Amino acid sequence: MGPETARRLGDLSVALAVVWQANPIWMLLLALGTLALALTPAAGLWVNKLLLDALAGGVQGASTPSLVFLLFLQAGVLALGGLLSTLNTALQELLGARVQERLSLRLFAHAAQLPLVAFESPQVQDGLRNAHQEVSGRAVMVWANLLSVLQAVVALAALGGLMLQLGPSLLPLVLLAALPSVLVQRVYAAQGLQMALEHTPLLRLQAYLGALLTTERYAKEVRSFGLERHLGERWQDTHRQHRQAQAGLTTRRSLWSGFALVLSALLMGLAGWGVVERTLQGQLTLGDVGMFLLGASQVQGRLTSLLGGVVSMVQGLTHLRLLFGFLEQPLPEQQGLHEWTEDIVEIEFCNVSYIYPGTGDAGIRNMSFRISRGESLALVGRNGAGKSTLVKLLLGLYQPTSGVIRLNGKDATLYSATSISQRLSTLFQDHAAYHLTVRDNVMLGDVQRPAQPGEIHNALRRARADFVASLPQGIEQQLGAAFAGGVQLSGGQWQRLALGRMLYRSADVLVLDEPGAALDPEAEQQLLNALYTESSDQILVLVSHRLATVRQATLILRLEKGQLAEAGSHEQLMAAGNEYARLFRLQAAGYSSVPAGTEQRVQQV
């Protein structure tokens, strides 16, 4: 047994185990129903022969009651086949939904354990897209294909026994006639799968361009810049590339399929001539001729089902390999077997560096600082200076390439990231806007505890989200235009909800990345003043480009090209007279050198 066959058999066993775990009773009922259905074609064929012979006088002394019995027997066989087919379809759909649920949860759980940096890899994105496509009942389809193969084997055995009664050469000819079409199907199914894999990046780009043109998030900018035609043409170009490759494959498959059908027809004609000749010689009855005409097509159909089922099962296992392969990706080595149970009162970076995997680029180099409870840390610097990387390291989203991050003097890697993250709360610049209720948007900050309306209102009050009181349904208001009754919020309102979500968690460390990005300067300053005051028993970390908002910070770090360029309080950095002082004076000059009444407009710019 080759390694490829062994792997497919392993994947088959995993797929069957998944179906069994979903519902073993439904799985067994589907198997029994499928095997019972396999016997109905031969039974119907034999009853049909008896009926034709009776009508032609081939059954001596045939009476009306016997004909009526045969007619009802034929109807009963047809009804039984229909009922079994309906039952099997229902069971397959029910199993498919259950298996999709189980595999989706496994996929989500695995994806959640991947490091954040993995999601920044195109290869991982391609793998995740392919894996997500395969959770929708593919395992059940493999089980159904296996049953289809078994059903075809049983049906072929029964039908073949009937066909052999008509002559020893007929069955081989009928079986041979089905082979060309099946071989063409197998070859081009494999080529179609290969094309799908090769075009995954192209199809992801096509889907992304389609989302730019159809989703509310991008609607304003697309219309403002008149991008409809440009993006539409780019989507059309990607679609054309895929369509042209697909058209070539379809054309070749159609030509070969046509040739296979002609060859099959010639072989069937040869078999049919043998039946006609034996009938003219009186060796076969009219019922035998009818049995051949119906049976030959059924034998061909069952053989096609058999070989096609094998092809589909192999193809399904190949598709499932995309899912299983993603689920088998090695997860980061579990660090931190201990649970963090104490309050975080001190964070220390000791010569911490971070190198982006696969690039060699350093996001952070030799970073060292310490911050304690009741103090605030501000990170400033140009875009690309390393502020976001440092925040991700602090939050445990990235792991240091070298150096140590200590919490309360203890190496953070000795403790589980999940238990530490419960002590941290974050407001990202590109925060999520959940199209759920206001209540949900806030309580997602800490789903581990039951939602209490009083705590939700308190978080909204601290976030200065006064607009919630004016919503028709208050904290139960559905948000987002995508759902019926949903209210669309402004950028600043969404940010205040995100801030409320951050404050809802009883965290030791608050991390705010550009908290005023969607707020006017006055609102931002009021918000930060309140945070500086209310976080006296917490550690506050702030990332900002507006230096006026970080003046109250206990420690200000100015980063440059991933390194620590300056560190100190606002007064110390101003006294040093270096780049921080120059940038602060530059921003201050911009505010003070404009005519009265325009300061707010300049600050907003």
Percent of the chain predicted with pLDDT > 70: 90
Spatial separation of the C-alpha atoms in residues 586 and 514, rounded to whole Å? 20
Pairwise CA distance, residues 114 & 331, whole Å: 6
Listed in sequence order, the DSSP H helices in 413-490 are 417-421, 438-443, 453-462
Lowest mean pLDDT of 313-327, 407-421, 443-457, name the range.
313-327
Q: Where are the domains of the chain?
A: 8-328, 346-431+507-590
Confidence bin at 594 (pLDDT 50/70/90): very low
The arrangement of secondary structure in 8-328, i.e. its CATH architecture, is Up-down Bundle (1.20)
List pLDDT tens digits, range 377-389: 999 998 889 998 9
Domain 346-431+507-590 has CATH 3.40.50.300: yes
Which band of pLDDT confidence, cut at 50, 70 and 90, is reported for residue 598?
Answer: very low
Considering 45-49, 481-485, 573-577, the range whose residues carry the highest mean pLDDT is 573-577
Q: Which residue in this structure is represented by tokens 């950095």?
A: 573
- Residue 87 in tokens: 């039952």
DSSP codes of every residue in 64-132: HHHHHHHHHHHHHHHHHHHHHHHHHHHHHHHHHHHHHHHHHHHHHHHHHHS-GGGGG-HHHHHHHHHHH
DSSP string, 16-62: HHHHHHH-HHHHHHHHHHHHHHHHHHHHHHHHHHHHHHHHTT-STT-
Task: Compute CA 402 distance to the chain's CA centroid, rounded to the nearest angstrom.
Answer: 33
pLDDT of 274 over the 60 cut: yes
Q: Evaluate if pTM is beyond 0.85.
A: no
Tokens of 95: 């199993």
Tell me what pLDDT residue 410 has: 93
Residue 186, pLDDT > 50, answer: yes
Structure tokens at 283: 């060796």
